[in-house]
Structure 1
Amino acid sequence: MAKDGPNWDGLLKWSLAHSDGTSSNRNLSEEDRKWFLEAMQSQSVDVVKRMKEITLVMQTPEQVLESQGVTPADIEDLLDELQEHVEAIDMANDLHSIGGLVPLLGYLKNTHANIRAKAAEVVTTIVQNNPRSQQLVMEANGFEPLLSNFTSDPDVTVRTKALGAISSLIRHNKPGYSCSFV
């Protein structure tokens, strides 16, 4: 999938190819420095701000979103974006502090199977090898809807994604949050 925006990998390769360390660093004029900073800021995303915006959408009732023309595919796209942001462990832990964890867990009960599956996939990313987020998901009763989706959802993709989230959730669980399937 091609991403919009700058080709950071290409910029790095170009920079390395044109910098061999044999010449001294050039001092930028104030005008060049200002241009460079503006160019970088225009291509940067405030991840926490964006996660708050996604959280606001997740907190909005489904009927309101539909009346505003937001489709289930739009929600899936937002969850894809959220998943990219929470791949960083600090952002995964921050999701709870900005109020986004509970609405995300609510999407595990959404009427659309693709949204339930995508929500489980995001939960997997959040809790994978992350004891703090595992604890937060357990405290927010996130295990119950995952287990329900795994055991009784009619959609096989939802069941599979829920199993992945459960596996990541209980893998390194602390004492006091034991789970048993037997």
Structure 2
Amino acid sequence: MDPSDQEPSEPRQPRNFQDVLRYAIEAGNNAQTQRTEPDISPLDPERRQFLEQAIQSLTVDTVRILSAAIETLKSLSKDTLAPETYQDALDEIADHVDNIDAANDFVKLGGFTIIDSCLHSQHPGIRWRIADIIAQCTQNNPFCQNHALNLRLLEQLITMVDKDPDEQCKTKAFFAISNIVRDSAVGLKEFMRLNGFSAVKKALVSNTDKLRMKASFFFNSVVSNQPTVTWDVVSMGFPELLVSQLQLPPGPSHEFNASSLLLLVQNSKEALATCKKPDLKLVEILNRIIDDQKTDDTYSELVESCKQLLVLVR
């Protein structure tokens, strides 16, 4: 999972028997750690309420909720309702499609037919929400990835990263791109056909921390798992770009940028030759990072990548 998406959130209500069972086991384990003798007393009000809510949640009709939200969003092309109404419908969908079964139901119910009008909405709150839904549906889900590719959503999302005036829209669009492309040979091929790495270059130098993080994580993932892209990204100037990013004050993206640069240098003579150019001052940059961060455990992996790079380029 992209580290930039690991944000604290309220636990979701259980939606099926497996959720209830897991929650019940967790509640039982927590209670067991707080007592040493068997407890045969009646359920206290708080635990009773928890179990009642968990059981009631099983009656939630996810298909009905998704269908109703889709119907609401079908009128978006005419923009007949308040933006908040459409946003609420998208929030309803987002509350469910993190579950693979619900994501697949969303597609089967025709949910992807409302994507185009949402992506082209004048309201950024609608655009970023639908991009987030695409991301949730396609994460580790080949069924939804294939539907997204068949509908040519990558092209629209790449354009969104490139030209949307709203930074949150760009960030969510990149999140969606990442989930469609990673671990999908077909998705990566289409991404490259659309010159998607140009959008990655722009994202890497964005002023938005989250977008930079997503771009660096995505790029590192691709060059780690798909070394066949090495020649293309080296010819596009990624080694120089990554070096320039390492000159900035250390942040969460540095670890991935250093790792990516190391992979390019290890797999490409051209990248190695570029990184040895005196005008890049890479040796000086690496020495400074190693010296400044050697006692900070937060950047231990960054320091290790820099040490390996230093051996190759000095």
TM-score normalized by the length of structure 1: 0.72
Query: What residue in structure 2 maps to residue 56 of structure 1?
Result: 71
Q: Which amino acid aligns with 2:177?
A: I
Q: Closer, same or farther in 2 for the Cα pair 1:176/1:123, shift >3 Å?
A: closer
Determine the C-alpha separation between the residues in 1 that align with 2:158 and 2:108.
Answer: 24
Q: Closer, same or farther in 2 for the Cα pair 1:176/1:163, shift >3 Å?
A: closer
CA drift at 1:99: 0.7
**Alignment of 1:162 onto 2:173:** yes
Determine the C-alpha separation between the residues in 2 that align with 1:21 and 1:106.
Answer: 59
Segment drifting more, 129-138 vs 99-108: 99-108
Q: Secondary structure at the match of 2:186?
A: coil
Determine the C-alpha separation between the residues in 1 that align with 2:167 and 2:39.
Answer: 59
Q: Which amino acid aligns with 2:101?
A: D
Cα deviation digits, residues 30-85 of structure 1 (max 9, x gap): xxxxxxx9xx568732001110111111111444532xxxx212222221220111
> What is the count of residue pairs matched by the alignment?
163
Determine the C-alpha separation between the residues in 2 that align with 1:64 and 1:75.
Answer: 9
Determine the C-alpha separation between the residues in 2 that align with 1:105 and 1:85.
Answer: 20
The structure showing larger relative contact order (alpha-carbon pairs under 8 Å, at least 6 residues apart) is 1
Picking from 122, 131, 138, the partner of 2:133 is 122
Q: Percent identity?
A: 28
CA drift at 1:13: 4.4
Gapped regions of structure 1 (runs ≥ 5): 24-36
Q: Secondary structure at the match of 1:111?
A: coil
Query: What residue in structure 1 maps to residue 87 of structure 2?
Result: 76
1:145-160 matches, cutoff 5 A: 145-160=156-171
Q: Which amino acid aligns with 1:161?
A: K
CA drift at 1:2: 7.4
Query: What residue in structure 2 maps to residue 91 of structure 1?
Result: 102
Segment drifting more, 53-62 vs 85-94: 53-62
Q: Closer, same or farther in 2 for the Cα pair 1:52/1:159, shift >3 Å?
A: same
Q: Which amino acid aligns with 2:123?
A: H
Report the aligned-residue RMSD: 3.6
Q: Which amino acid aligns with 2:62?
A: V
Q: Which amino acid aligns with 2:117?
A: G
TM-score normalized by the length of structure 2: 0.44
Determine the C-alpha separation between the residues in 2 that align with 1:13 and 1:167.
Answer: 35
Determine the C-alpha separation between the residues in 1 that align with 2:156 and 2:108.
Answer: 21
Q: Secondary structure at the match of 2:80?
A: helix
